[in-house]
Amino acid sequence: MHPILTHNLGFPRIGADRELKRALEAYWRGDLSKEALEDTGRTLRRRHWQQQADAGLSWIPTGDFAWYDQVLTLSATLGNVPVRHRAEARNTGAEPGSHSECGCSEPIDAPEAPEGPCRQVDLDTLFRMARGRAPTGAASSACEMTKWFDTNYHYLVPEFHPDQTFELSYRQIIDETREAIALGHQVKPVILGPLSYLWLGKEKADNFDRLSLLEALLPAYQQLLDALADAGAKWVQIDEPILVLDLPAAWQQAFEPTYHRLQNRAVKLLLATYFGALGENLSTAVQLPVAGLHIDAVRAPEQLLNVVDRLPVHKVLSVGIIDGRNIWRTDLRAARETLAELTERLGERLWLAPSCSLLHVPVDLKREQALEPELKSWLAFALQKVDEVVTLAQLLAPEPAPSALAALEASDQSVRSRRESRRVHNPAVQERLSAISPTDSQRQSRFAQRSAKQQALLQLPEFPTTTIGSFPQTDDIRQARRAYKQGQLSEVEYRNRMRQAIADAIVRQEQLGLDVLVHGEAERNDMVEYFGEQLDGYAFTQFGWVQSYGSRCVKPPIIYGDVARPRAMTTQWARYAQSLSRRPVKGMLTGPITMLFWSFVRNDQPRSVTARQIALALRDEVKDLETSGIQIIQIDEPALREGLPLKRKDWGEYLDWAVEAFRLSASGVNDETQIHTHMCYSEFNDIIDAIAALDADVITIETSRSQGELLDAFEQFSYPNDIGPGVYDIHSPNVPPVEAMVTLMEQAAQRLPKERLWVNPDCGLKTRGWAETEAALANMVSAARRLRERSSDAA
């Protein structure tokens, strides 16, 4: 029997100590040279390749490393760079005829060579596309950013125009493949497939369909495959995750001719799907002219035998048997039983892998020394998951190695420990869940009645101004938090430092003239982690960092047991902030759905049950804030759209329990208490009725990067409550001009009643500096005043 081949779909790129994050931010500040940044990336890549090789993988991925985002890298590779960014790339001072602009290794014959896409793409071009600014080139509006399927990872949305051209223009994946092969690794480059790439983009002109660009796009893909073959690749993993979606007929029918065009004798293609079942696309996927197919057997185990039955006898089947999106240790015995029949039927055509890229999990569990040993024994991070893949292949051999059998016994013990542990189940929480009634998720009165009472109490002007919640986390704030956690700062000293930061934020907001204030969240490390640290059923890591976008990393909590709130979490800070101002100060909470999806959630009960547990804990906090005199309470739910199942048939059930969980958390207050929520970087058109069903008095959303496009859903639906369309992009350091914000709000007022419009940034300001924050907010307040003046003149 031939050994079963093992591989990985992608590895975390940020580094176990967030080395890439720190290097990127230093480069953007001007504190690190481009050469030093590139050295950091090279060091990380080589380390990760070696770690996977040492684990025993048969194939190691290349192309999974990205300076900001893998979709952005592909856009650059294909020459799909918006004109506003491409034009600026010529002003970098590069030598004529050189490739210092693009980093590619191909020669240019003469300085007078015509300028093509390759002469217009360099590392700073990527950063201008992602951030709107880079160390070189002029500032420009950044590309839109949104969630990668139903994950908390964000990608940069490709922009498409009717006259779009594509050409191999940036060679990062090619050069890194050549680099890995030179180091002696057996590699499998990873690229996003052409149909998924088009699907994930957006038309930037009216009356054309981006699918019509497929014919122009495919030659660039052929160039890329040829270049990867020339670099030494034997296999290329080409990801088409949209095959797990409900595809329109035209898109489904486009797959066969596309992959006939992409057949390449020099490289074999492994078509990778993940995050769900192939469903109606099963016949399409198994018949494509590729050498192998990867499927997700964690998210969709029910598809496994159907795929095996339909797969042509000459094709490899890669089974994603290890969960690439969660941190729970694999039940190796159960996985081996699942694979046993496949081993007999497929033989050497069976490959094993994680279900998807390991981008979504932390790097190394071994570094977690503070986790309670029992809980730690239930977990596996990226390196451990690679080990599990290799171990499973060994366990399927006729005579498994002793080390594999020892790992199997350890897995059995972990499964028993978790199933029997008393820390997982809380009878009091179960009793409270069973006592929930329908009235618990209903406000006392309808919005129109509540709104009148709230305005009588709050006396807010037309176009009221506010922010989303967080203010800059300065070095002083971070140092104080770090010193307190390390025992170098007493609790009294720490609280005084946080009070000083809150007081400073209140003074700054009053001086700016904001109408509704926030306390700034100085005491919060993260909008989910902060609350999870104060709830039963949550655990935390020291180094469990995961990339959210670019240099932004999060450390998701682990929900391992029943969730309950032992004591108040935010009331003391909210009370103190409100005591400093006569203007209303919002109480700030993270909603139950976001607390659920931005954590590593337990997989031993339905997510709906865990969501209701969190909602009840937050309900108690909302009531305590109201009792403390807080008149406005914001319950953020940026993950509501993210949690939407990928198959439309599953939407109804999810939205029912997700909406109920939010309302359960928010509905215990009086009419006079105004409930806000916030959502960002999501498409709302298809769930606008569910957003309305949340019945929040005010919703704030992102509209700046999409130039107000997201408001279309609220207009067409006739959204009934108040709305704050974000007027500037907080993920860019650019300070927005007053007139741009006025224009955006006037566009909003043409779609929605001006009496129901608020003025705010599109997200929290935690990652920005005070200088740019105050400048941007001053312009925002000026914009609101100008709107009021124009409204008054019109009246």
How far apart CA 640 and CA 662 sit, in angstroms, is: 10
Alpha helices in 516-606 (DSSP H): 529-532, 571-579, 592-597
Classify residue 120 as exposed, middle or buried by CB count within 10 Å of its CB (0-12, 13-18, 19+).
buried
Residues 6+ apart with CB under 8 A from 286: 293, 307, 310, 311, 312, 315
Which residue bears the tokens 């019945």?
A: 695
With beta carbons less than 8 A apart as the criterion, state whether 632 and 662 touch. Answer: no
Which one-letter DSSP state was computed for residue 184? T
Indicate the pairing of strand 632-636 with strand 587-590. Answer: parallel
* Residues 780 and 728 sit within 8 Å (Cβ to Cβ): yes
Residue 113: what residue type? A
Q: Is 260 a catalytic residue?
A: no
Burial of residue 552 (CB within 10 Å: 0-12, 13-18, 19+) is: middle
Cα end-to-end span (Å), the chain: 84
User: In sequence order, what are the residues at sequence separation of 6 or more whose Cβ sits closer than 8 angstroms to the Cβ of residue 486?
Assistant: none
- The DSSP code for 288 is S
Element (H, E) at 295: strand 292-296
CA neighbours closer than 13 Å in the CB half-sphere of residue 159: 17
Question: What CA–CA distance (Å, rounded) separates 86 from 96?
Answer: 17
Closest CA to 663 of 616, 701, 603, 623: 616
User: Contact 114/75 with Cβ under 8 angstroms?
Assistant: no
The residue type at 598: W
What residue type is assigned to position 267 of the chain?
V
Cα distance between residue 234 and residue 225, in whole Å: 10
- Is there a contact between 302 and 281 (Cβ–Cβ < 8 Å)? no
Cα 658 to Cα 640: distance, rounded to the nearest angstrom: 7
Assigned token pair, 596: 């659920």
Of 48, 519, 676, 731, the active-site residue reads 731
Residues involved in catalysis: 731
